[in-house]
């Protein structure tokens, strides 16, 4: 089933509002950053019109808004892993299944032997 242009604009506007509210910014605050009126920003959020590509890009950069989610409805997966963690993943994927099982057992053993690090 295809989605109409109007329906897509409404969905994008709704997600744009949702993401803006998550950042704790008002329509006025966001509009002023882009030098547009609050009325224009309101039209974006109501799906009456669409911001240009530069505005959408800057939303992500300046406000941390998930642009992929705004445009597609699919969240960008978080990949906040260190280089060391990435190396462990790559090494694990390069192992055969027997070695992976051994690595899982060793990893479980180490994880259970010490208390978790406190966030801070």
pLDDT of residue 118: 58
Task: Select from 55, 29, 27, 53 the least CA-distant residue to 41.
Answer: 27
> Is the whole-model pTM more than 0.85?
no
> What are the helix and strand counts (H, E) for the chain?
7, 0
Instruction: For residue 28, count CB atoms less than 10 angstroms from its CB and return exposed for 0-12, middle for 13-18, buried for 19 or more.
Output: exposed
pLDDT of residue 81: 80
Q: Which CATH number is 5-72 given? A: 1.10.260.40
Task: Select from 9, 58, 10, 71 the least CA-distant residue to 30.
Answer: 58
CATH 1.10.260.40-classified regions of the chain? 5-72
**Local confidence pLDDT in tens for the 120 residues of the chain:** 467 999 999 999 999 999 999 999 999 999 999 999 999 999 999 999 999 999 999 999 998 899 999 999 999 887 788 888 888 888 888 989 999 999 999 998 988 887 666 555
Task: Select from 98, 10, 21 the least CA-distant residue to 46.
Answer: 10
């Amino acid at each position: 089933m295809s989605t109409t242009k109007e329906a897509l604009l409404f969905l994008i506007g709704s997600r744009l509002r949702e993401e803006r509210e998550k950042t704790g910014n008002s329509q006025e605050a966001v509009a002023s950053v882009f030098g547009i009126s609050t009325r224009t920003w309101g039209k974006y959020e109501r799906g009456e019109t669409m911001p240009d590509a530069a505005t959408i890009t800057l939303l992500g950069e300046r406000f941390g808004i998930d642009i992929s989610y705004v445009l597609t409805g699919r969240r960008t997966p978080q990949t906040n892993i260190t280089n060391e963690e990435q190396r462990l993943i790559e090494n694990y994927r390069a192992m055969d299944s027997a070695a992976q099982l051994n690595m899982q057992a060793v990893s479980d053993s180490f994880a259970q032997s010490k208390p978790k690090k406190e966030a801070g």
